[in-house]
Structure formats: structure tokens, C-alpha cells
Amino acid sequence: MHIPRTLDSEPIVLTHGNPSWSYLHRHMMAPLAATGRRVIAVDLVGHGRSDKPASKDGYSLARHLDWMFQWLLAMDLQHTRLSRPDQGGTVGLHLVAHFPERCDRVVVSHSGMPQGDGSNWFLTLWTTLMSRATRFPWWMLKPGFAKPISAATYRAYRAPYPTPAYEKGPAKFPVLIAVAPDNPGVPLNRAAWAKLKTFDKPFLTLFSGKDVVARGLDRRIVRFLQVRP
């Protein structure tokens, strides 16, 4: 989804979590564009309207980073404001770390880049269960189960995945959260955090105390960024 004002205006880049896609930002796009900025909502590979490799083995954190790095350079975005919710931050913070000259401001919500030092019981259980899953458990999003969403919203989130063959991305994405010390993403995340120590531009965290997954990560991020080399 892309609502441009002028192609040379300062862009706002929105990413999404899992299993959502750019539909997540349907209420934000127009007000943000009304500020005169170019607004870009990007679907991560395997999600939304992006291409979807048909095997879980086709997805890794390294491949997601390569896809997004190529996308950022192809778009040649400069003076970017980045908004990173949920697992979109797991990938998006790498963009900030590797291309700080292209990022002017960052907003992170309910996200982070784990370094293999464990997590809370829910995230540990979630990543373990999804490592064995062949498709995404959509029943968790159904109205009346856990999240207060309407039937229409539920259908919209499921729309890009008409059959299980399209669900390998959402099914694999939780496994890419590097909470376990042997996760392949750990060295990538540690290297990115080392780069972020030098990022000295505006950085905002927006977290809810009711989030059982990411609760407290905002304080860890703030403490980390306040400790300069």
C-alpha cells in the first residue's frame, strides 16, 4: 500500500508484525499522508501482497534482511521515518543499524532484537510450538477468542493466504525470533545492536503494559541506547 504526496517528500515507512500485513495501517495512512509526507507500507516477504516462498525453509532472518536491504536501496529512501511494530521491528531495526544515514527518526512498538538470552514463558512457548507448525494457527485471531477484532477484520487478515500453501511465511516468522542462544539470528542481532549504539537521532518506544510478549522491552531498549560508547 502506497499513498504518495510527492515522490521527493520525506518518507514514512510502516512495517507490520505477524501474521498481519499492511492492512494493519489502514487507519493511519491517510492522516500521515495529510502531513505532506510520502507514506509507504511494505509487506514483508511471505506476508500480505508480497511474494511467498512455498517452503518454510525458504525463510530465515538473513534472507529477510537481504530482501529488505535490497528493497530500501532500490527505493533509494532518504530522511526516512520508520515505524516498527511487533516482529516488523525484528527486521526493521536492522535497517536502522545498517543504514543510519537514511533514517532520521524511529518508532518501535512491542518489538526488539533478542540476543539469545531467553524470554518470558509465552514467547518461549510460542517459538517452540511454531517451530513444529506447518501452517499458522488462525483460530487464535478469531473474534471472541483472544483479540477484539471483527469478523470482517479477521477475513481481511486472512485474505492473502487462501490455502495453507501460502502460510509458510507466517508459520516460520515466530521461529526467527532469536530468544534461544542457538538461534541463527543471534549473531546478526548482536552485530546490529553494536551498530545501533552510535545511532543518535530521535528514537521513540511505544509499548503497552498489557502485552504479555514484549512487556519491558522498551525499558531495555532505552537503557541500551542511553549507554553510548
Q: Which of 87 and 75 is assigned the larger pLDDT?
A: 75
The rounded percent of the chain whose pLDDT value lies above 90 is 56
pTM above 0.75, yes or no: yes
Per-residue pLDDT reduced to its tens digit, 135-190: 899 888 876 655 678 889 999 999 999 999 999 999 999 999 998 999 999 999 99
pLDDT band with cut points at 50, 70 and 90 for residue 216: confident
**Homologous superfamily of 2-226:** Alpha/Beta hydrolase fold, catalytic domain (3.40.50.1820)
Average pLDDT, stretch 13-19? 91
DSSP code per residue over 121-132: HHHHHHHHHHTS
What per-residue confidence (pLDDT) applies to 7?
58
What per-residue confidence (pLDDT) applies to 6?
53
pLDDT band with cut points at 50, 70 and 90 for residue 4: very low
> Residue 116: how many CA atoms within 13 Å on its side-chain side?
12
199 exposed, middle or buried (CB, 10 Å; 0-12, 13-18, 19+)? middle
C-alpha span between 17 and 89 (Å, rounded): 8
How many other β-carbons are positioned within 10 Å of the β-carbon of residue 87? 27
